[in-house]
Structures are given as structure tokens and as C-alpha cells.
Amino acid sequence: MAEAFNDLELPTDKDERYATVAAEIASVLDGEPNRTARMATVASMLANSFEHYFWTGFYVVDPDKPRELVVGPYQGTLGCLRIAFGRGVCGTAAETRATQLVPDVHAFPGHIACDGASASEVVVPVFDKAGALIAVFDVDATTPAAFDETDAAWLEKILAQAFSAQV
Ligand code: SME
């Protein structure tokens, strides 16, 4: 389980590594209904499995302000606390309900620089099993174009497995 995962030697091939981490996440989350615990676990396990992950975490839809995201469980340097729908990469993912793969954050209109070290990012919308948007999952890197379709596809799969399929 979690202890063993920290000692696990992960495959070097990115696709194989995501497959291994996805299976480990599913195993650790099995039987845990608490959403905060599930989010914290996903952020920690992914952040510690990939060298290119610099900031890794959730912006959750604020139940009191449905068009605003508020920071949730994350790993990394201090993140902004709130992001309005439609603002920056996270707000665009929330507004459009679509994954944003951004090779150069400085070229993205309205990008929010929480940490000036961020150069590229991928943001994936997170849905509950009824299809309602509950959060976005944001991963930032300090190098340009650090994420590709492999990262995006696996993140979509891992987030769906963790939050959309939950009974
Ligand atoms: N890059 C994000 C802001 C959040 S952080 O970088 C932690 C954005 O433009 O939405």
C-alpha cells in the first residue's frame, strides 16, 4: 500500500509509469469515500512519481460561489487561493469543461502566475459520477512543453477513475 508505493521502483517509460501509478492510486483509494482524502492522495502519488511535476494539485469548485475555484489539496510551492471561472488556464478548464494542454504559459491569454517558475502546464477537469464539475487538476512544470498527449490522456483516466467512477 502507501508505504510500499514510496519504495516502488517505477518504470522509466512514461506510459508504463502512468499505468503503474494509476493502478497504485486505485488500490490506495479503494474503500475511502472522503473526497479530500482522495484528492490529497492523488496529488501526493502523482507529484512523487514524475520528475517533471513541479506544482500538482486541485482547484475545487467553491460550493458557496459556483463560478469560483478555491485551492484544494496540492503539492508544491504556494498556490493562488482563488481563481474565477474563465480566468487563466485553470479557469478556462473549468469554464469549458475541457483539458488544457499549455506548452508555454506566457503565451496563454490571462495566465495566472502563482509561481514565476512555471513554464508549461496541463489542467484536467474533474467530474463526479453524476457528471457535475467538482474541481480541476492542475500540473505545472518549470520547463516549456513538459506535458504531451500521454500526460493529458493518463491524467484524464486517473481523475475519472478516482472521482467519476466512485460509488
Ligand atoms: N497556472 C494556473 C494558476 C494556478 S497555479 O499555477 C498553481 C492558471 O493560470 O490557471
| Whole-structure pTM value | 0.94
Confidence bin at 166 (pLDDT 50/70/90): low
Q: Report the domain count for the chain.
A: 1
**Distance in Å, CA 148 to ligand 1 centroid:** 18
Q: How far is ligand 1, taken at its centre, from the CA of residue 151, in Å?
A: 17
pLDDT, residue 9, reads: 87
Measured from the CB, is residue 139 less than 6 Å from ligand 1? no
Largest separation between any pair of C-alpha atoms in the chain: 43
Which of 53, 60, 78, 118 for a ligand 1 pocket mutation test, highest count of atoms within 8 Å of Cβ?
118
Q: Is the CB of 57 under 6 A from ligand 1?
A: no
- Give the residue, out of 112, 124, 137, with the most ligand 1 atoms within 8 A of its beta carbon, to mutate for a pocket test: 112
* Ligand 1 close to Cβ of residue 76 (< 6 A): no
Overall average pLDDT of the 120-133 stretch: 97
Q: What percent of the chain has pLDDT over 70?
A: 97
What is the chain's mean pLDDT, rounded?
94
pLDDT in tens, 12-69: 999 999 999 999 999 999 999 999 999 999 999 999 999 999 999 999 999 999 899 9
2 confidence band (pLDDT: 50, 70, 90): low
Could you tell me whether strands 82-84 and 120-127 are parallel, antiparallel, or unpaired per DSSP bridges? unpaired
Residue 1 has pLDDT above 70, yes or no: no
> How many whole angstroms separate alpha carbon 113 and alpha carbon 16?
32
Question: Which residue range forms the structural domain that includes residue 65?
Answer: 2-164
* Residue bearing the CA closest to ligand 1, atom 7: 79
* pLDDT of 3: 58
Residue nearest to atom 4 of ligand 1 (CA): 114
Task: Please spell the DSSP secondary structure of 2-56, one letter per residue.
Answer: HHHHHHPPPPSSHHHHHHHHHHHHHHHHTT---HHHHHHHHHHHHHTT-TT-SEE
Dist. CA 116–CA 77, nearest whole Å: 11
Q: What is the pLDDT of residue 51?
A: 93
**Residue 114 has what pLDDT?**
81
151 CB under 6 A from ligand 1?
A: no
CA pair distance 139, 19, nearest whole angstrom: 18
Name residues whose C-beta falls within 8 Å of residue 9's C-beta, 6 or more positions apart in sequence.
Answer: none
Confidence (pLDDT) at 27 = 96
Domain holding 126: CATH number?
A: 3.30.450.40
For residues 74-82, average pLDDT: 96
